[in-house]
Amino acid sequence: MVDLPRKKVGLIACSGEELACGTLSRVAVRQVLESLRPEDTVTLCLPLFLAGNEQERAFARFYPTIAVDGCDKQCAKRATEKYSAKVAAEVVVDKALQEQGIAVHPQWRRQPDQSGLEAARYIAERIAVQVDQILGHEHPGPTARVGEQQEAQTAPAPATCSCASGIPVTQIPVGERLVDILALEPLLTLVHEQAPARNDGLGAKLLQAIKVYNDISPEAEPEYEQALLREYRQRFGKEA
């Protein structure tokens, strides 16, 4: 059985230390990770995009991401798009709360009180709806899920931090270039397990599998197909 990474949504909070809405961004993200959509989401500490390595920057190419920003400077969105890939959705906390008529209190910066946690919950519910839309999942309405969260707060699910998620990145030659491929090994194994004996359409199958997690332009597809066939035959040569 192939241990293929499950498709999840990456949540990136700005966590802005100067502002109450920065704290709410991280609290809301943790609520989604721990209680509302623990099976469908992972996170990454935002400054890792700059301080981290290729694996950490591969995060947003591997996962569709939602940027959760405290203010209109939108550091989380801008950093994700600068260092990794375009975000799938975005939430700006101060704007969203203002639209809802929720006043933000400066003391929430350090520790949100009950009303601060409720404001974060409102943001978390919005994020959960976006997660469902991105993954095409059907969930009960967010309000129904909030009741579940109340119970879950005593024993939150272990939230996933992407710096321990182990997205495998493999560099292979494609045409004249060396290219990073996300999840190459499990995807090759998956294709092999599904259709091990036949060469018919093997290149197209490999390409289809790899494209789930890697952005490949249509004009580059023939080169990628050749490269993937070569990698596949190196691993399963006798059988392919």
Residues found near other proteins in the complex (CB under 8 A): 13-19, 22, 26-27, 29-31, 34, 43-52, 73, 75-76, 78-79, 82, 109-111, 156, 159, 161-164
Min. distance of Cβ 111 from other proteins in angstroms? 8
Minimum CB separation of residue 236 from other proteins in Å reads: 36
| Structure tokens belonging to residue 33 | 């990770």
Nearer to other proteins, 34 or 225 (CB): 34
Asked if 56 and 48 count as a contact pair (C-beta separation under 8 A), the reply is: yes
Both tokens of 133, joined, read: 């839309």
* Choice between 27 and 87, CB closer to other proteins: 27
Supply the minimum distance, in Å, between the C-beta of residue 77 and other proteins: 10
Give the shortest CB-96-to-other proteins separation in angstroms.
18
Secondary structure E strands in the chain: 9-13, 41-43, 65-69, 89-92, 169-174, 177-182
Spatial distance between the Cα atoms of 81 and 58, rounded to a whole number of angstroms: 12
What are the CA-CA distances from residue 81 to residues 77, 95, 214 (Å)? 6, 21, 16
Widest Cα–Cα separation across the chain: 66
How many C-beta atoms surround the C-beta of residue 211 within 10 A?
A: 13
The nearer residue to other proteins, 80 or 214, going by C-beta atoms, is: 80
DSSP collapsed to 3 states, 18-36: CCHHHHHHHHHHHHHHHHH
Task: Give whichever of 73 and 177 is closer to other proteins, judged by the CB atom.
Answer: 73
Report the nearest approach of other proteins to the CB of residue 126 (Å). 18
Q: Which is nearer to other proteins, 75 or 97 (CB)?
A: 75
